[in-house]
Amino acid sequence: MPRSGKTRQRGRVLHVSYSDLRMFLSCPRLLFWKNNPDVPNPVDYPRLGGIAVHDHVRQIHHPTKDGRPFFFRTKRSTLNAFYARWQRELEYAKGKGLLIDPSADDDDKFLRIEMLCLSNYWEMMNGRPAPVEVEQRYRWNYKPQVRMVGVFDQVHNVSLDWIAKKRPELVINGILNPEYAPVVILDLKTEFSTFDPAEKVVNPTDKDWIKQQFELHEYFQPTFYMWLYKMKHGKWPVGFLWYHLRTNKMFFTFREERDFQEMFLAIDHFIDSHNAASFPKNVGRHCAKCDYCLPCHGARPFLKSLPDGLPNAPAMMEVVASQIMEAEKQLCLKIKVGRRKKVEIAAEPISGPPVIRELPVVSELNL
């Protein structure tokens, strides 16, 4: 399993990735914990499976001495090799205590799901031209000490006829606009649902299409990657393919000037918040699925708010003891800016409790 990096700023250069930007916009505090070197990064089965599939696809396209198109000779050998990979991934994640709610049933369930994804990938790509790029890292210096970074799953050549069907405005008199390269960026997805409105709505209307595919045509990953490709190669890619491996369906999208303006507005906000060490919480229903509820709540006991009303004899309150231990007592009022607390997590790690040395900056309050 790839060991997720804990540092977004290397030396004095801030590295801005799409995943960090997405995390920050959903909840700035989430990004703070994700990149805190003293907080473990747990993983659930969908994420672990996605990582394993991406790693295996990269191996499928590993160059061979005899020049055959795939590293594995048959689909069966591909799937057999993945079975061994999945066992190693499970062993590592469980051994490190990183896998959330491990179970033998989910071990098998997600093995079947990822096997299906790889089987579909083999059927889709077998006999087709190889990708131009596989798992290539892109970098571009946006501002002094700020670098945009990304790893593209794949880049594929596409024909002029294909481009004319997807983006006819780019082909004039049978010639591709010289500002564009005849390529698309392809991103592999192993998640549950797709952008096909028919999966959720019978006989979808235009409004249904807009609602169900709004994310596809607005989210920042295609925007981010199309920009990085242009900065590296000097030409725009034709677009971005969202490849859903479970169903073997692809969904095409592209970006225009307004989309890039929106992206840089968000990136500038990200940079300003990082420079100000501002990572406020964005609390909502999504917190129930967050990996960092314990450090986010801190050392305070957690109140179990039982279903209640206004009876004469209300039920007694129940409190869950915090699994966070603070080595230094926190002041209730007038917390100085920049003050740090030493915190220990009373979890069940392999080699002693980790110590959180960095906490979000809390401004001074005068209550």
186-238: per-residue pLDDT in tens?
A: 999 999 999 999 999 999 999 999 999 999 999 999 999 999 999 999 999 99
Single-letter amino acid code for the residue at 70: F
Cβ-based neighbours of 135, under 8 Å, separated by 6 or more: 54, 58, 151, 152, 153, 154
**What is d(CA 112, CA 106) in angstroms, rounded to the nearest whole number?**
10
| Overall average pLDDT of the 354-367 stretch | 59
127's CB contacts (< 8 A; 6+ apart) are none
d(CA 133, CA 181): 14
- Over residues 262-276, the pLDDT tens digits come to 999 999 999 999 999
- Decide: 259 and 203 in contact? Cβ < 8 Å: no
* H, E, C per residue of 131-150: CCEEEEEEEEEEECCEEEEE
Inform me whether the pLDDT recorded for 334 exceeds 50.
no
Residue whose structure tokens are 């957690």: 302
Give the C-alpha separation, 35 to 131, whole Å: 32
Give the global pTM.
Answer: 0.85
% the chain with pLDDT above 90: 69
Between 263 and 302, name the one with better pLDDT.
263
Interacting residues of 339 by C-beta distance below 8 A, sequence separation 6+ = 361, 362
The confidence score (pLDDT) of residue 294 equals: 83
Distance between CA 338 and CA 361 in Å, rounded? 5
Q: What is the DSSP string of 12-62?
A: TEEEEEHHHHHHHHH-HHHHHHHT-TTS---B-HHHHHHHHHHHHHHHHT-
- How far, rounded to the nearest angstrom, does the alpha carbon of residue 19 sit from its chain's CA centroid? 5
Q: 344 is written with which tokens?
A: 């220990």
Q: Which two tokens stand for residue 256?
A: 């225009």
Q: Residue 359 pLDDT > 90, yes or no?
A: no
Quick one: pLDDT at residue 333?
Answer: 34
Q: DSSP readout, 228-261? A: HHHHHHSSEEEEEEEEETTTTEEEEE---HHHHH
Q: Which whole number is the average pLDDT over 73-99?
A: 96
Query: What pLDDT digit, counting tens, does each position of 104-161 carry?
Result: 999 999 999 999 999 999 999 999 999 999 999 999 999 999 999 999 999 999 999 9
Radius of gyration of the chain (CA): 24
> Cβ neighbours of residue 48 under 8 Å, at least 6 residues apart?
1, 89, 90, 93, 99, 110
Strand, helix or coil for residue 196: coil
Burial of 30: CB neighbours in 10 Å, binned 0-12, 13-18, 19+: buried
Interatomic CA distance for residues 25 and 279, integer angstroms: 10
